[in-house]
A and B are shown apart, each in its own frame.
Chain A
Amino acid sequence: MKNDHDLIHEFQSGNDSAFDELVQRHLQMVFGFFVKITQDKMAAEDLAQDLFIKLYRYLKKFRFESAFTTYLYRAQLNTINSWLRRNKWRNFLHLDDIPETGRSDDTVEDQWRKKELWDGIYQLPKKQRTVVMMRITEELSYQEIGKIMHISEGSAKVNFHHALNKLKEIIHE
C-alpha cells in the first residue's frame, strides 16, 4: 500500500487520482475534527471543502519535511482559527443560542454544556485554544501537539494547563 508521501509524489507529477486517494484516506478524520468544533455538519463539510481545495493548490509545493498528517493538522488548525475569527461576533452576540448538531441523541442539557464549553474555548488566547482543541478533540499527545504547532512538548503542556485553569474559571467548574 502506498504511503502518503508516495501519493503526494504521484500527485506532483500530474496524477490527480492520487489526490483523490489522499482525500479519501483523511476525509473522515478532517470532517470529524470540524464537526466536533463547529457542532454543525454543514459548516464542517464547508470547512473540509475549503481545506481540500487549498490543499490541492499547496500540495504541489509540499517539501516532504514533515509527515503529511502533521501538515494536514496544521492546515486544519489554520482553517478552524479563521472560522472562529469569522464567527467571533456571531458567537459573542449569541446568535446561535442552541448549536445545531443535527444529532438526536444529544439532550438540550448536553447541547448547552457543549455550547458553554466552546464559548469558553473561543475566549482563550490563540495558542492555548489551539492546544486545547488538539488535545480534547483529537486526543493527541503533547509531543505530537508540539510538532504540529512548532513548539516544545513542555510548552504545549504548560499552555494546556493554563488553558484548563482559565476554562475552569470561565465555566465555573
Chain B
Amino acid sequence: MSNSFEQKLINTVRLSPETIDTKSFLADLHQNRKNKRLKKNRLIYSLSAALFLMVLGGLTFIQLDSTMGYDNNWAEIEEADYFDMDFWNNQNEIELKISENYYNELAILLLEEDEFWNTIKFLDDMNYTTNRKEL
C-alpha cells in the first residue's frame, strides 16, 4: 500500500531528463561570481569610507567644540569689561593715584613759575587739602 503510493509519487515527479548547456552555465557562473565579489568589495569599501568619514567628523567636531569653548570664555571676559558698571574698582583707584601725582606736578610747575596764589587757587579747586598743609 505504502510502496504503491511511493511509486505513484515518484512517477508524478519523474521528468524526462532535463539538460542544461554546461558551457554557457560555466561562463555565467564565473561572471556571476566576479560580479558578487565586486559587489562585496564595493560594499566593504563603502563601509570603510563611511566609517572613516564618521571618525573624521567626530574628531573634527571634538576639535571645533574645544575651540568654541575657548571663544566663549574669551567673549565672557570681554563682556565683563564692556559692561562693568562698577566705576570704583581697582582700575579706577590706579587712575586716581596717577591723577594725584599729576596735580602735584602741576602745582610744583606753577610754584616754579612764581604763581603762588594761582597754585593755592588750583589746589583749592581740586580740594587738595592734605597737600596744601604739606606745602
Contact = CB atoms under 8 A, between A and B. Distances in A.
Interface of A: 20, 23-24, 27-28, 31-32, 35-36, 41, 44-45, 48-49, 52-53, 56, 103, 105, 110, 113-114, 117, 132, 135-137, 139, 161, 164, 167-168, 173
B20 A136 contact: no
B18 A161 contact: no
B17 A105 contact: no
B29 A28 contact: no
B29 A161 contact: no
Interface of B: 2, 5-6, 8-10, 12-20, 22, 25-26, 28-29, 32-33, 36
A8 B36 CA distance: 22
Contacts of A31: 18-20
Contacts of B8: 173
Given A136-B6, A167-B9, 19 more contacts: A20-B26, A23-B26, A23-B29, A28-B19, A28-B20, A31-B18, A35-B15, A36-B15, A41-B18, A45-B25, A49-B25, A49-B29, A49-B32, A117-B13, A136-B9, A136-B13, A137-B13, A164-B2, A173-B8
